[in-house]
Amino acid sequence: MNLFYQPGIPQGINHLDAKESRHAVRVLRMSEGDHLDLTDGKGYFYAAKIIKADSKKCAFEILEKKEVKRRGYSIHLAIAPTKNADRIEWLVEKAVEIGIEEISFMLCKNSERKVMNMERILKVAVSALKQSQQAWLPGINEMAPFAKIFNATADQKFIAHVDSTNPTHLHSLAQRNKKYLVLIGPEGDFSTEELDMAIQQHGFEKVSLGTNRLRTETAGLVAVQILVLING
């Protein structure tokens, strides 16, 4: 099934954007009367039919609307982006496919990347949403200082950091059906001050993701997958 994305459906927009229109009409060679499957990324799937097969503005008529409820738990991953943009885009793609509610980008003391192309990140997320046939597009937050992440609310808050005093694995601490917030540091790891701020001042639990040393984007994906499996 080809799933198309139109976030403006709830506001009455009944056509695909130029890129989606071109894909439907020129690539898939869809025509008037053909069935169209859509999502608004806000929890709804739509069954529709094409009423104007225009490669720049493909218009449709909604035939059916189906609501998809939120999961009984939620995952918010806050991560310091990698210097290599491709690696963080890979993380966003895979995390969305697996299932995540929110992704935040943090500017830490040891961060090597201080600017994000958020338009590109959103495109990657939307593509992953369609690929995995989901109705909820995760919230994607722009780069913000490390301290700002503490404004987020969660039932369980974890900071991934491996050292000799940290033998506790995320899998052993995470409880089912909770609202999780997981912090993943930059390639140079969190500073001592950032660790103290999270643990001592804001109640984060320090956790390990295993004995192997993981790249930043790998650590982020491992954390998401562990929480999904715990709730599976």
What are 136-182's pLDDT values in tens digits? 999 999 999 999 999 999 999 999 987 766 678 999 999 999 999 99
* Site of tokens 């980008």: 105
Q: 51, 67, 83 — which closes off a domain?
A: 67
Check whether 82 has a pLDDT greater than 70.
yes
Range of the domain at 27: 3-67
Residues 63 and 88 in one domain: no
Residues 101 and 25 in one domain: no
Q: Which of 16, 68, 75 is nearest to 226 (CA)?
A: 75
Q: 18, 43, 67 — which closes off a domain?
A: 67
pTM here is 0.94
Q: Would strands 156-160 and 74-79 be described as parallel, antiparallel, or unpaired?
A: unpaired
48 neighbors 66 (Cβ within 8 angstroms): no
